[in-house]
Amino acid sequence: MKRTTDTRAQYQLAMDEEGILLAAANILERRLLREGNLVSPNAAAAYLQARCAALSHEVFGVVFLDTQHRIIATEHLFTGTVDGCEVHPRIVAQRALHHNAAALVLFHNHPSGNPEPSAADRTITRRLKEALGLLDIRVLDHLVVAGLSHTSMAARGWV
């Protein structure tokens, strides 16, 4: 009986933490909407850290932006495992066209806590930039979020 009680308590704690993180992400999104647009990788990273930094599996998502770089929507498009996530450019393009986005910021988390982009991360960024460029949709950045750290591929000249 003790083990069942402990498991329930752990589950409730995890659900409470997830709810708090989601509330924080919503607050940051409202703040970004009030400020008007994404002006820096740090502003985007703070928002995205609240959204996905604590997840135990990888997610790949997109912040869809209008011509003034104001947020239209943010979506987690792909869910993976603890160390990888399969990304399909076709789906990213479909969602960007659905939102009528002029630009976007790609993001994904590294549950390992290491914000360093992998070779696969750089490859998918290049593929998405090429594919979306054919549709006149600009990729502004690809952020890798890991706990309280992040890496901006645009800041490194990789976008």
* pLDDT tens string 99-150: 999 999 999 999 998 999 999 999 999 999 999 999 999 999 999 999 889 9
Domains defined along the chain, listed by start: 2-152 (3.40.140.10)
Report how far Cα 20 is from the mean position of its chain's Cα atoms: 18
Buried b (16+ CB within 10 A) or exposed e, 31-59: ebeeeeebeebeebbbbbbbbbbbbeebb
pLDDT tens, 55-73? 889 999 999 999 998 889 9
34 three-class SS: helix
pLDDT score of 33 more than 80: no
Say what the pTM is: 0.79
